[in-house]
Amino acid sequence: MTLEHTTVHRREIAPGVLVYEGEHGMPNAVALIGSERLVVVDSLFTPRHAEVMMADVRTVTDLPVSALVNTHFHGDHTLGNGVIPTDRIIAAAHVKQRLETRGAEYLDLLCGIRPDLEPEIENVAWVLPTEEIDGPLDLDLGGLTAQLRPVRGAAHTEADLYVLVPEHRVLIASDLIFNGVLPVARDSDLPGLRAALHALDQLDVDVVVPGHGRVGGRELIAQQLAVLEDIEAAVYRAAADGCDLTEAAVAAVATLLHADERIAPYVTHFGRQVA
Ligand SMILES: [Zn+2]
């Protein structure tokens, strides 16, 4: 269904697994509805988006939200935190400190990136995680399990976590995977991201919910690895040929949304390898 006046669409990808899929590269969030408990994974870019999501969740279930999971600190996954009615917000270690020390700076950055959303987010107070985990945590929702798995080491950010729903072989990868969109890499450790993707590729999953872009099959994992490899190869080739590294890198991923404006950290990283 399409939710009026937003760019969020609900897709039920398995019983009790509702994906709120953003359009045009906007973030995704997920509601996991068991027979006894409801858990929300990420809270979208603005309180308004989170309100629309929660209103839609309420058409499906009256269960209280037993926890909100923040997959990482980025505002497009956390700025709706205050709207999700729960006092338990779980994140990987260091997310709270990151938001406390750099939240204001990060909000300025987001307003610059999305000036159209500035009126909605410029005065949002960050609602911080109440609980940080540095190891696996399983939440039993009643017939459905949310398996929270922090990534070892930095990847998309310095502290990411992904969520597995083993009953339906679903991986909620958040921003470890983007589909059809070049990942934001400003806060990324690219070797760490590659290692994390190789680890995801070992998981027994059939369905992958990316942080941005459409839900897909497990091929999204290999596809994300290929994006890194294509940029790397293009930068190496351009360096060997004396061509412009940025132009070559953008050309390698030209089909992806935001390739132009997000390529710089990739060129810096891979360019350093050939310098
Ligand atoms: Zn992110």
Q: Per-residue pLDDT tens for 7-36?
A: 678 999 999 999 999 888 899 999 999 999
Report yes or no on 29 lying in a domain: yes
pLDDT value, residue 109: 87
- Give CA separation, 86 vs 28, 40, 90, 103, in Å: 19, 10, 11, 21
Q: How confident is the model at residue 5 (pLDDT cuts 50, 70, 90)?
A: very low
Q: pLDDT band at 4, cuts 50/70/90?
A: very low
Please list, in sequence order, all residues whose beta carbon lies within 8 angstroms of the beta carbon of residue 45, skipping any fewer than 6 positions away. Answer: 22, 26, 27, 75, 76, 77, 79, 80, 114, 117, 121
Q: How far is the CA of 176 from the centre of ligand 1 (A)?
A: 8
pLDDT of 2 reads: 43
Q: What is the distance in A from the centroid of ligand 1 to the CA of 145?
A: 24
Contact 152, 176 (CB under 8 A): no
Q: Is residue 3 part of a domain?
A: no
Is residue 74 within 8 A of residue 57, CB to CB? The reply is: no
List, for residues 235-265, the tens digit of each pLDDT value.
999 999 999 999 999 999 999 999 999 999 9
Ligand 1 midpoint to CA 66 (Å)? 24
How many structural domains comprise the chain?
1
Which residue bears the tokens 């969030």?
Answer: 29
Spatial CA neighbour of 145 closest among 61, 66, 34: 34
Kindly state the average pLDDT of the residues 174-188. 97
Q: Is 187 a member of any domain?
A: yes
- CA of 222 from ligand 1 middle (Å) equals 19
Reported as a pLDDT band with limits 50, 70 and 90, residue 104 is confident
Taking 60 as the threshold, does the pLDDT of residue 102 lie above it? Answer: yes
Asked if the structure places residue 1 within a domain, the reply is no
Tell whether 154 is covered by a domain: yes
Contact criterion met (CB below 8 Å) for 39 and 63: no
- As a whole number of Å, the end-to-end CA separation of the chain is 50
> What confidence category does residue 69 fall into, taking pLDDT thresholds of 50, 70 and 90?
very high
Residue 139 in this model has a pLDDT that exceeds 60: yes
Instruction: Check pLDDT > 60 for residue 1.
Output: no
> Which residue is it, tokens 């953008």?
250
Q: Which residue has the tokens 């269960």?
A: 63
CA 175 and chain centroid, separation? 3
CA of 72 to the centre of ligand 1 (A): 7
Cα of 141 vs centre of ligand 1, distance in Å, is: 26
Residue 47, in any domain of the structure: yes
Query: What per-residue confidence (pLDDT) applies to 6?
Result: 55
Number of H helices, E strands in the chain: 9, 13
Q: Could you tell me the CATH number of the domain that includes residue 14?
A: 3.60.15.10
- Domain membership flag for residue 2: no
CA of 199 to the centre of ligand 1 (A): 19
Chain mean pLDDT for the chain:
94
Q: How confident is the model at residue 3 (pLDDT cuts 50, 70, 90)?
A: very low
Q: Which domain holds residue 178?
A: 8-274
Rounded CA gap, 11 and 143, in Å? Answer: 20
E strands along the chain, which residues?
A: 8-14, 17-22, 29-33, 38-41, 65-70, 89-92, 131-133, 137-140, 145-150, 161-165, 170-178, 207-212, 216-217
74 domain residue, yes or no: yes
Closest CA to 129 of 153, 159, 174: 159
Angle between helices 264-274 and 190-200 (to 10 degrees): 100
